[in-house]
Structure 1
Amino acid sequence: MLRFMPIGDSMTIGSAGEHTWRYRLWQHLRATCDGEFTLVGPREALYDKAADAPVSLDYAGRDPGFPRCHLAGWGEGWIHMAPVVEDAVRTCRADVLLVSLGLIDLGFYTDAGQTIANVRAFVAGARAANDRIRMILLPVIPNIRAREDEPFAAQVDLFNQLLAKTVADLDEPRSPLLLASPPDDYAIDTHTYDGTHPNERGEHALAAAFAATLHQAWGIGGEYAAPRTA
């Protein structure tokens, strides 16, 4: 059984009442993946905005079959995940990491170069737990702040350039490291509800980005088909 671990910030954990892109990807793989699979991680909850804490299990749809596990946190980035990924991979026996991080780092904690150092520490930690771990990293998707704050936008662009170089540098046959392509036609006005966090259409777009890499690189799943209404 393939064990996928979604790792990310607020765009990945989601908030109370949302489906999340994790759910959209699970639905897609359930329909297209030939082998058995599941989602794993040390956490299950959504973020509850009223409580200002990740304490909600109020997933939209409330599908009892959905494996809610993940390693994601509201306001967390590479700087937070690098120290904990080794233990999470080892404990949850993850095979594939699906990672969407960086926006929080660049916005509040570290510049592009410092963030890349944390990416390298993250990769090393994951491989220390499983030397055959496979990883797909999604570039930072610019949010509304990047549209209004030129220095921040420049850091996002620089980080994405450095991330592509780092992925190429650290990729190895035993433990593949891949860079996903950003979602096609992703726009903050149509794919988010507040300029950062994905709405239904955005959830499908993020899931499709990971699904495309899984299918094209490793033959896992199939082509992603988002609903026409998404």
Structure 2
Amino acid sequence: MLRFMPVGDSMTIGSAGEHTWRYRMWAHLRETSGGPFALVGPRETLYDKAADAPVSYEYADPDFPRAHLAGWGEGWLHMAPLIGEAVRSCRADVLLVSLGLIDLGFYTNAEQTAENVRAFVAGAREANPRVRMVVLPVIPNVRAASDAPFAAEVALFNELLAKTIADLDEPSSPLLLASVPESYDIHLDTYDGTHPNASGEHRLAEAFAEAMYQAWDLGETYVARTR
């Protein structure tokens, strides 16, 4: 059984009332994986905006394996110290990682963030030397659209991320850089310029699914499904 762990920030944990891209990925894998799989991770909840805490189980459809390692306001900086124990305890085989916006927005510059990517990879591999990882660059967001220096930092980080992934990739523990979802539009695919709406959830799931299909022949090409 392949055990997938979604790792990310607010775009991955989602908030009360949403399906999340994790759900969209589960639906896709259920139809196309050709074998048993699971979503794993030490957390299960959504973020509750009213409570300002990750305490909600109010998924739009709760009937799926909701486990993950994602947090509202968390980035590479926060996940690097946690990933080893999460991989070890949950026996994760494949990490689906979407991080970076929070780091660049509040904590670290592009170079420092890239160093935290290296620490994250090292921690994951220490726990499972054969772990596979699919990493999504920082995708379009409202701040980058209006803040030129921030947009430049995002572009620099995405360039450093690509180099880091290429540098650390190895046959026994492959690293895969997913592509930014084609034609991703912050006005159509998000509800606030950053967080994905239903179409954005599908686009994020598609980015991971297409990367795995094209590079590893895992699953099939992505088709948006309601379940």
How high is the TM-score relative to the length of structure 2? Answer: 0.98
Q: Which residue matches 2:94?
A: 96
Q: Deviations over 1:170-217 (max 9, x none)?
A: 000010011001111101000000000000000000000000011111
In 2, distance between residues paired with 1:109 and 1:72?
17
Aligned amino acid, residue 215 of structure 2: A
By how many angstroms is 1:54 displaced?
0.2
8 Å CA contact 2:140–2:184 kept in 1: the answer is: no
Q: Which residue matches 2:8?
A: 8
Q: Deviations over 1:71-99 (max 9, x none)?
A: 00000000000000000000000000000
Aligned amino acid, residue 97 of structure 2: V
Query: In the alignment, is residue 130 of structure 1 matched against residue 125 of structure 2?
Result: no
Q: CA RMSD in A?
A: 0.9
By how many angstroms is 1:62 displaced?
2.7
8 Å CA contact 1:83–1:122 kept in 2: the answer is: yes
By how many angstroms is 1:27 displaced?
0.2
In 2, distance between residues paired with 1:12 and 1:113?
23
Which of 162, 165, 188 is matched with 1:164 structurally?
162
Q: Deviations over 1:137-156 (max 9, x none)?
A: 00001210001111100000
SS of alignment partner, residue 224 of structure 1: coil
In 1, distance between residues paired with 2:9 and 2:61?
22
Aligned amino acid, residue 95 of structure 2: L
Q: Deviations over 1:12-47 (max 9, x none)?
A: 000000000000000001011101000000000000
Q: Which residue matches 1:37?
A: 37
* Aligned length in residues: 226
Stretches of 4+ moved more than 4 A in 1?
A: none
Q: Which residue matches 2:109?
A: 111
Q: Percent of pairs identical after alignment?
A: 74
Q: Which residue matches 2:212?
A: 214
Query: In the alignment, is residue 52 of structure 1 matched against residue 79 of structure 2?
Result: no
By how many angstroms is 1:218 displaced?
1.3
